[in-house]
Amino acid sequence: MRVFWSLLLCGAAFAQTAETPKVIGILNYPHAVTDLDKTVAFYMDVMGLELSRPAGDFPNPGVPLLVNSPGVKLRLAMFKMPGAKFVLELTQFSAADRKAAQPLHTDPGAANLQLRVRNIDPVLAALQKWGAPIITRSGKPVKIGPADSNLRSIMVRDPDGYILEVIQAPAAADAPEGNVHSVAMGLTVENMEATHQFYRDMLGFELTGKPEFSSNPAILDMVGAPAGAEFRQMAGVVPGTNARMEFYEYRGLLRTKFHLRVFDPGAPALVMRVTDLDAMLKRLRAIGTEVLSVRGEPVQFSPTVRNIFVVDPNGVNLELYEDKR
């Protein structure tokens, strides 16, 4: 009898899990730019990244509906992300009233791309040549690891103000060749508990981290935060992938919530695949999630793909899509 009830409970749990919509993959980590050709050149020259899709027009009629901007046009380019199965997507929109803005790393809604490199010195030289703004207060790489390690990190901006964290760190034995050997994504949040609940309950993320705030002078220097501020962090991977995401929350300093429309230069986004878009959208609406796409409905982007833009609790644009192939 005990075995029977165990099997019954396991079956019920499986059925509930199977019916609950969730994220099962990641496609792109985009951000909108002012001048696509300039930003493409930056990532090639400074970071040595390889294009997976050269800059060009993307004339899909679903774009204006998806970003809720009639008549908008899109050019885009994509870069391979070493050691990860997603791409950095740079998007330039036109025929829209664009308004650029740049957050501080400590502002809720700020996103960053973490790039781990074998040698940070050539990156610094290239950044200086470009005149890239440095966020780190000391203006130079900060030692962030144990005393006997060689971990050094600096935070900078790309030509559109998007935040990049460059970390000199040892590469894994199976890491790809090239200076950049691995990447991760980062989001600064308004409230860690609310963010954790949203990404866990709505999207199926498993995040770990300490709930307590702490203060580390080296980290505060690196992210450009004032001395005395505190932070906490959680991390995990996008479900169904090895794509690492880190979530940060700060206190003890002025914070301004950051949110841009999808087509505004500097706007970050995250594109994820889900199991049942309609069911997920119903659950998201039930908790008051803002929906951006026209009429609040999914867009038929191709014969097999439907997608929609929503906003997470911190102001970050999330593109959720369903692929019936």
pLDDT for 18 equals 52
Question: SS3 for 188?
Answer: strand
Cα–Cα distance between 318 and 79 in angstroms, integer?
Answer: 19
Read off the CATH number of the domain in which 288 is found. Answer: 3.10.180.10
Beta strands in the chain (DSSP E): 23-32, 51-57, 73-80, 87-94, 111-117, 142-143, 152-157, 163-168, 180-188, 230-237, 244-251, 269-274, 299-300, 305-311, 317-323
pLDDT (tens, 9 = 90+) of the chain, 325 residues, equals: 444 334 333 443 433 445 799 999 999 999 999 999 999 999 999 999 999 999 999 999 999 999 999 999 999 999 999 999 899 999 999 998 999 999 999 999 999 999 999 999 999 999 999 999 999 999 999 998 777 778 999 999 999 999 999 999 999 999 999 999 999 999 999 999 999 999 999 999 999 999 999 999 999 999 999 999 999 999 999 999 999 999 999 999 999 999 999 999 999 999 999 999 999 999 999 999 999 999 999 999 999 999 999 999 999 999 999 999 8
Q: Does residue 287 lie in a domain region?
A: yes
Q: Does residue 15 lie in a domain region?
A: no
Q: What are phi and psi of 59, to 5 degrees?
A: -85, 30
Q: Does residue 274 lie in a domain region?
A: yes
Ramachandran class of 127: left when φ > 0, alpha when ψ lies in -120 to 50, beta otherwise: alpha
Beta strands in 148-218 (DSSP E): 152-157, 163-168, 180-188
Q: Does residue 1 lie in a domain region?
A: no
Structure tokens at 299: 């867009």
Cα–Cα distance between 13 and 185 in angstroms, integer?
Answer: 31
Residues of the domain holding 45? 23-323
Q: Does residue 9 lie in a domain region?
A: no
Tally the domains of the chain: 1
Exposed / middle / buried, residue 56 (Cβ in 10 Å: 0-12, 13-18, 19+): exposed
Task: Cite the DSSP H helix spans in 132-231.
Answer: 192-197, 217-223
pLDDT for 5 equals 37
Q: Does residue 171 lie in a domain region?
A: yes
Q: Give every CB contact of residue 169 below 8 A, 6+ residues apart in sequence.
A: 116, 117, 150, 151
Q: Does residue 11 lie in a domain region?
A: no
Q: Does residue 17 lie in a domain region?
A: no
Exposed / middle / buried, residue 161 (Cβ in 10 Å: 0-12, 13-18, 19+): middle
Cα–Cα distance between 147 and 249 in angstroms, integer?
Answer: 26
pLDDT for 73 equals 97
Concatenated DSSP letters of 245-288:
EEEEEEESS--------TTSTT-BEEEEEES-HHHHHHHHHHTT
